[in-house]
Structure 1
């Protein structure tokens, strides 16, 4: 097991409430630091530790978008039904962790000039990591909250107002582009003082390109969806260009796994096991949520967890019927019996009293057990995987989506590249005529439970939102969307020490 190293160098990094509302440390704090490679290595380790820990404390968008037949728990239902009053009053929707991360990245960038005798390529690596994290975080802020704050640096004491979502996406693009310029390919990544495998959580050319491909696809979609100023067509073309660099191995060696089984045993495993994976997040197996969180973890039960029983599936927060799975995949599609455990035999009528017709997710399979004092038998310690965030199949289908929006015939070949691996019928299968819909459904099949579906729905427009979301989502119009209905409401801590920030228009109606 490989773990991100957490080095608690500066209490101020843990203790700051937010760059939005905390008086910054004077630059002289770092006068005797940021001199050597060891200093910068330590700060990059700190940044990576924060990246994993702070980024995923709020992953409600994955829950909103899960393809599920039964959802247990009122909080999950509120998210998926867009129950406005509950979302305002019952959820912690803070962006604090995101700005803590931006602060740490800015600390690194603001102190590069202090370096003494450090080779240029190493300084580029440190700066590139900070730019990649900033680009990723601004992208995540824009997708979750829409209009958000853009900060200047780690020392500014001014109070910031929100910037438009398009400006935030442009800020993310600027940072991701700098990371792309400065960072090496994954296979050329430097070792930070240890002769070990380099985690795919670190930024590299490939992960910056994946970020840029998603940024431009999202920006174009928001221009179309919200009726914003900008050239959506140009954005889709940019996304295609960046995606192509990954697919053609021009920014690192990435290739699809050969089979759907290897998607489960290698790509979903991570930890260096897969050349399909572009960006992974390291899980700390010995810590609880969010350190051991990934979207698929909430679905896992028997037989992966040997301490649970076949009946445990009915108790999960999210469940999916075997019949839903059978309707989702053709009978010859390999993913049907790789992503799910013995789909047909476990959904036989004789099993209904046990599992009520629910399917057993088998996409993640590696479990580690530990002895505990309170049980005579070992218990599940953790799911032994990393969080695979972006993989090459996602990029093929993202390029296909953008091509379909532009009427580019490449959409069909990209779609069929993923279908061919699963032994599914190439497009157009009988009854298929809408390639954009076919690509959306293929992302649903291929990336099932990986946390992308909510964003996939939004990128495809209001008709998809009405069709594939429930509750109050079904009555949203373009004005609601433009005013922020699809994003999280700002949490009260955003206003605590900042009297110029206001709730977005849509959510202010329910306060």
Structure 2
């Protein structure tokens, strides 16, 4: 019997409106989350002023790198409710499947972030029994679980253009899980499983990584389309790199695949420093805030924490590459020797440039937040990820074609066989694709995971000096991950243990 005087999980979800509220809770929880703190270990800098940041990058164990994973498990709990009760609402099977697909998507994205951050973590399943102790599972096993969740989401969710709410309204932003978003997540999960095999424990390496490169490629193709360089469907590249700032990150662009709406909801989030976009924008573009809100001079760039040299950017983007001016403010004029006393030889990152300020009495003109949505994946990322998959599958010509799609948009030199001839990386094309991802998405928090995915040789060369000599066993033991927060240990879950590497120091 349904109690008439109290709400329970079983009787709380009867209509589509009830289920939409449950899904909105998942979205709200994800909007509050900021990605993985490990991203900082791989962001490109030529100079870093923060001792803590340098300590993270150099694996200095005295700078404890731990985070609380509870918010991600709260997201999983919210997704579990959606999945469990979707079938009981009064709606068509198509609508029930849509809500259930959203639940599987949110569950998959939560485990994706848990793996990126902590490696080994707890799989709690469909129901949480707080009287049962849960040990951690090895990250390859957690990945299998997350990949299966993403596959379910792909199977159940409609394309973005087919999404409607219970009132028949289309979404205003790409913040609703759809088939394209689920395929992007599936592609990244599969590429992670394939690319990280080199530092899995020996007992967890009994899988064929080629299978996962192939599935990742297929997921990318489902987004792009089968015609090489001819994405003319739901997702399309914007015309110029300048539009990445003025269009893509503003929301609902043809290039955006999945995003969290933060431009309109910053009051709900509370602290702007907790938004996914703001944390990364502030990493490189805080000088914009200083100049626009407190009238600082341009020499304020020398006071920033993370700095990139003009020479680096000049090498990355030769003249003619449109990303020179789209990503960096007045690169050539500010890079002139006569302005060294102002710039210190550093560039002015400018991908994130639009700042909102407060208007309330007593706070007028103070920095509030960067005026952008939080874009998780855009089409350029998927092109370059597919190029990487195709290199691993020995599809050389197809990989070059995907790489050149991004270079052509930027008016950059197309790939040729003599590129990076002076590097001693064995696969020049794979390295070219890695460098293109590094350049194209320099301000998008992907580089650390790209390095790990490309193998031990890249970890030794592309990360900080500490990684050049650290034993492989330390990497296997988890130095590349964040420690479990001490508050999570010693409680009700008696089977939970600290990361093996961090346990030596904490």
| TM-score between the two structures when normalised by the length of structure 1 | 0.88
Matched, 1:204 2:178: yes
Correspondences of 1:135-146 after superposition (within 5 Å) = 135-146=108-119
Contact 1:62–1:295 at 8 Å: present in 2 too?
Answer: no
Counterpart of 1:134 in structure 2 is 107
Contact 1:301–1:360 at 8 Å: present in 2 too?
Answer: no
Helix, strand or coil at the partner of 2:62: helix
Structure 1 residues 176 and 351: alpha-carbon distance in aligned structure 2, compared to 1, 3 A threshold: same
Matched, 1:173 2:154: no
Helix, strand or coil at the partner of 1:83: coil
Counterpart of 2:221 in structure 1 is 244
Correspondences of 1:182-201 after superposition (within 5 Å) = 182-193=156-167, 195=169, 197-201=171-175
- Alpha-carbon distance in structure 1 between the residues aligned to 2:297 and 2:174: 34
Matched, 1:110 2:84: yes
Matched, 1:504 2:478: no
Counterpart of 1:358 in structure 2 is 346
Correspondences of 1:31-70 after superposition (within 5 Å) = 31-53=10-32, 55-56=33-34, 59-70=36-47
- Alpha-carbon distance in structure 1 between the residues aligned to 2:139 and 2:173: 31
- Alpha-carbon distance in structure 1 between the residues aligned to 2:369 and 2:297: 17
Matched, 1:306 2:292: yes
Helix, strand or coil at the partner of 1:118: coil
The unaligned stretches of length 5 or more in structure 2 are 1-5, 422-427
Matched, 1:404 2:391: yes
The unaligned stretches of length 5 or more in structure 1 are 1-26
Helix, strand or coil at the partner of 1:382: strand
- Alpha-carbon distance in structure 2 between the residues aligned to 1:241 and 1:196: 27
Contact 1:135–1:175 at 8 Å: present in 2 too?
Answer: yes
1:476 shift after superposition: 2.6
Instruction: Report how many aligned residue pairs link the two structures.
Output: 476
Contact 2:124–2:134 at 8 Å: present in 1 too?
Answer: yes
- Alpha-carbon distance in structure 1 between the residues aligned to 2:67 and 2:350: 31
1:368 shift after superposition: 2.7
Q: 2:274 aligns with which of 266, 290, 303?
A: 290
- Alpha-carbon distance in structure 2 between the residues aligned to 1:134 and 1:122: 19
Helix, strand or coil at the partner of 1:84: coil
- Alpha-carbon distance in structure 2 between the residues aligned to 1:368 and 1:280: 19
- Alpha-carbon distance in structure 2 between the residues aligned to 1:385 and 1:235: 33
- Alpha-carbon distance in structure 1 between the residues aligned to 2:279 and 2:261: 10
Q: Deviations over 1:236-255 (max 9, x none)?
A: 11111111111108996101
Contact 2:36–2:113 at 8 Å: present in 1 too?
Answer: no
1:191 shift after superposition: 2.5
Contact 2:38–2:482 at 8 Å: present in 1 too?
Answer: no
Counterpart of 1:332 in structure 2 is 320
1:85 shift after superposition: 3.0
Contact 2:281–2:370 at 8 Å: present in 1 too?
Answer: no
Structure 1 residues 110 and 476: alpha-carbon distance in aligned structure 2, compared to 1, 3 A threshold: same
Matched, 1:255 2:236: yes
Helix, strand or coil at the partner of 1:32: helix
Structure 1 residues 419 and 45: alpha-carbon distance in aligned structure 2, compared to 1, 3 A threshold: same
Q: 1:391 aligns with which of 359, 378, 391?
A: 378
1:337 shift after superposition: 1.5
1:371 shift after superposition: 3.1
Structure 1 residues 251 and 182: alpha-carbon distance in aligned structure 2, compared to 1, 3 A threshold: farther
Structure 1 residues 113 and 427: alpha-carbon distance in aligned structure 2, compared to 1, 3 A threshold: closer
Contact 2:236–2:254 at 8 Å: present in 1 too?
Answer: yes
- Alpha-carbon distance in structure 2 between the residues aligned to 1:480 and 1:472: 12
Matched, 1:277 2:247: no
Contact 1:264–1:364 at 8 Å: present in 2 too?
Answer: yes
Counterpart of 1:5 in structure 2 is none
- Alpha-carbon distance in structure 1 between the residues aligned to 2:50 and 2:59: 14
- Alpha-carbon distance in structure 2 between the residues aligned to 1:405 and 1:65: 23
Contact 2:357–2:369 at 8 Å: present in 1 too?
Answer: yes
1:494 shift after superposition: 2.5
- Alpha-carbon distance in structure 2 between the residues aligned to 1:327 and 1:470: 20
Contact 2:87–2:96 at 8 Å: present in 1 too?
Answer: no
Matched, 1:265 2:246: yes
1:499 shift after superposition: 1.4
Helix, strand or coil at the partner of 2:505: coil
- Alpha-carbon distance in structure 1 between the residues aligned to 2:206 and 2:63: 33
1:431 shift after superposition: 4.1
1:167 shift after superposition: 1.1
Q: Deviations over 1:270-313 (max 9, x none)?
A: x21x1011111222333322136352332224557522431222
Counterpart of 2:447 in structure 1 is 453
Structure 1 residues 113 and 120: alpha-carbon distance in aligned structure 2, compared to 1, 3 A threshold: closer
- Alpha-carbon distance in structure 2 between the residues aligned to 1:36 and 1:277: 31
- Alpha-carbon distance in structure 2 between the residues aligned to 1:251 and 1:238: 22
- Alpha-carbon distance in structure 1 between the residues aligned to 2:196 and 2:419: 30
Contact 1:185–1:252 at 8 Å: present in 2 too?
Answer: no
Structure 1 residues 29 and 453: alpha-carbon distance in aligned structure 2, compared to 1, 3 A threshold: same
Contact 1:187–1:252 at 8 Å: present in 2 too?
Answer: no
Contact 1:313–1:360 at 8 Å: present in 2 too?
Answer: yes
Q: Deviations over 1:69-106 (max 9, x none)?
A: 1212222112111112322xxx4411111111101111
